[in-house]
Amino acid sequence: MNSVPVLTVKPWRALFDEKFHVVVGNLPPTQEVTLHSLHQSEDTDYWEAFGNYVSDAQGRDTGPGPFPGVLDMWGGGGSLVEYRAALLASHGFAAMTIIYLFPDHKKNTTIGYPYFENAFRLPQDHPLVATDRIALLGISAAVPVVLSITAYSKTVKPRCCVCISGTHTGRIEATQSIAEAYSRIEKLYKKACRDEKNHIIWRDVFLPIPEDIDLKVEMGRITCPLLLVVGQDDQNNATVESADDMKQMMERAGNSNLLTTLSYPGAGHLIEMPYSPHCKVSSFLKPLSRERVLALWGGLTKPHAVAQEDSWEKILGFLREHLCHSVKPHVQSRL
């Protein structure tokens, strides 16, 4: 017989400026719960609010925390993009986005491991965040950042990592700045080709995947679960080849059990949240040179939309599995 959820509200009656404490108990562990409050005013208008939560190991609505954390990093656009973190927060994660590529080139010369280590320490030090349950999430240009600091930093120890549309090449050394690391990549842009509409295609910049271990992250040093999201029609990055090489490196190192790969036919580079528009081509400002180009991201509309919807569900499942002590795995490899 299924257990019946128990809702407790204390106090059951209060003034408008007093707090109510709402606890939901008798739930299965890691059960997603939506609390809905509805009030009809004297003018017969309805006022309502929703709160999304995940029950703890004892089957209770976790309420005021501590919450699992996610440090979110976007790509080479160089701006602070927070809507993914906001959506993660609505799913019960204490999410924070950081910017690491600035319009001011001098600023980029100061951004290195200490910057990312301090950023990781911020949620760790927050009283409502579980210090040992913080993940790193990066897309595109942020992927080598996520992989590098996970592999080589002495203080950044994420519980798990999610890498979308990126590569392990372009390793960032502990003594390097972001400006130094990305200047190497911009020197390779001469290898880029253009299509008949003069859209720049950057995926060839990263090919062939180097065999020299000094030119890529040593994947054998990764000690936490890693989820890769790959679009097979990515025209901006060699994500398919990179995922294959990362898998081979981890198999040789004996830690391939930590790797899960989601690979989507017909999906392009910009795999974002579900129901976001498919952007195949757009204007793009190079992060260091500030040159504006028309970049081809790739992807076909329908399969790309399917990839966004499917991958987001599995990303959330992966984060819950490794940050929320889920008893059932949510993600299966599709490579």
Are 148 and 199 in a shared domain? yes
For 16, the domain range is 6-54
Tell me the two tokens of residue 277: 């528009």
For 124, the token pair is 């760790």
Q: C-alpha angle 151/298/136, rounded to 5°?
A: 25
Burial class (CB within 10 angstroms; exposed 0-12, middle 13-18, buried 19+) of 153: middle
Residue closest to 91 by CA, chosen among 330, 288, 295, 332: 330
- pLDDT of 276 strictly over 70: yes
Q: Which of 55, 140, 177, 311 is catalytic?
A: 140
Number of domains in the chain: 2
Contact 148, 169 (CB under 8 A): no
Tens of pLDDT, residues 208-227:
999 999 999 999 999 999 99
Q: Label residue 190 by pLDDT band (50, 70, 90).
A: confident
Q: What is the pLDDT of residue 236?
A: 95
Q: What are phi and psi of 52, to 5 degrees?
A: -105, 130
Beta strands in 165-213 (DSSP E): 193-194, 200-201
Exactly one of 61, 72, 233, 234 is catalytic; name it. Answer: 234
Q: Where are the alpha helices (DSSP H) in 57-154?
A: 83-90, 105-108, 113-125, 142-152
- Give me the pLDDT at residue 334, please: 35
Is residue 328 one of the residues assigned to a domain?
Answer: no
Q: Residues 110, 13: one domain?
A: no
> 115 and 22 in one domain?
no
* Same-domain check for residues 45 and 72: no
For residue range 52-100, list pLDDT tens digits in order: 777 877 776 756 678 999 999 999 887 789 999 999 998 889 999 999 9
| Structure-token pair, residue 258 | 């930590």
Please check whether residue 235 lies inside any domain of the structure. Answer: yes
Instruction: Give the DSSP H or E segment for 244.
Output: helix 239-253
**152 found inside a domain:** yes
Catalytic annotation present for 199: no
Residues 161 and 39 in one domain: no
pLDDT digits (tens, 9 = 90+) for 121-151: 999 999 889 999 999 999 999 999 999 999 9
Any catalytic annotation for residue 234?
yes
Rounded Cα distance between 174 and 157, Å, is 15
* Side chain identity at residue 43, one-letter code: D
Provide the token pair at 294.
Answer: 């028309």
Task: State which H helix or E strand residue 125 sits in.
Answer: helix 113-125
pLDDT given at position 170: 86
- Confidence at 2, pLDDT banded by 50, 70, 90: low
User: Residue 330 pLDDT > 50, yes or no?
Assistant: no
Q: Active site includes 269?
A: yes
Q: Are residues 283 and 164 in the same domain?
A: yes
As a whole number of angstroms, the distance between CA 157 and CA 222 comes to 10
Residue 265 has pLDDT above 80, yes or no: yes
**Could you give the CA distance from residue 332 to residue 330 in angstroms, rounded to a whole number?**
7
Asked whether residue 334 is domain-assigned, the answer is: no
Give the pLDDT of residue 45: 80
Same domain, 42 and 178: no
Pair 71, 216 in one domain: yes
Cα radius of gyration (the chain): 22
Give residue 335's pLDDT band: very low, low, confident or very high (50, 70, 90): very low
| DSSP β-ladder status, 129-139 and 67-73 | parallel
Q: Is 317 exposed, middle or buried (0-12, 13-18, 19+ CB in 10 A)?
A: middle
Q: How far apart (Å, rounded) are the C-alpha atoms in residues 292 and 283?
A: 7
Please state the pTM of the whole predicted model: 0.80
Q: How far, in Å, CA of 127 to CA of 254, rounded?
A: 36
User: Which has more confidence, 265 or 8?
Assistant: 265
Query: Which tokens hold the place of 134?
Result: 């913080």
What phi and psi values does residue 161 have, to the nearest 5 degrees? Answer: -135, 145
Query: Can you give the pLDDT at residue 332?
Result: 36
76/39 same-domain check: no
Q: How far is Cα 225 from Cα 322, in angstroms, rounded to an integer?
A: 8
- In whole angstroms, give the CA distance from residue 325 to residue 305: 30
Name the catalytic one among 199, 269, 278, 322: 269
- Contact present, 276 and 299 (Cβ < 8 Å): no
The answer to whether residue 167 is domain-embedded is yes
Q: What is the mean pLDDT of residues 173-198?
A: 87
Indicate whether 1 belongs to any domain.
Answer: no
Tell the residue number behind the tokens 């996520």, with chain if given. Answer: 146
CA distance 324 to 114: 28
Give residue 19's pLDDT. 72
The token duo for 284 is 């793009």
The stretch 33-43 carries a mean pLDDT of: 81
User: Over 60: is that where the pLDDT of 326 sits?
Assistant: no
Asked if the structure places residue 190 within a domain, the reply is yes
Give the CATH number, domain containing residue 162.
Answer: 3.40.50.1820
**Is 102 in the same domain as 14?**
no
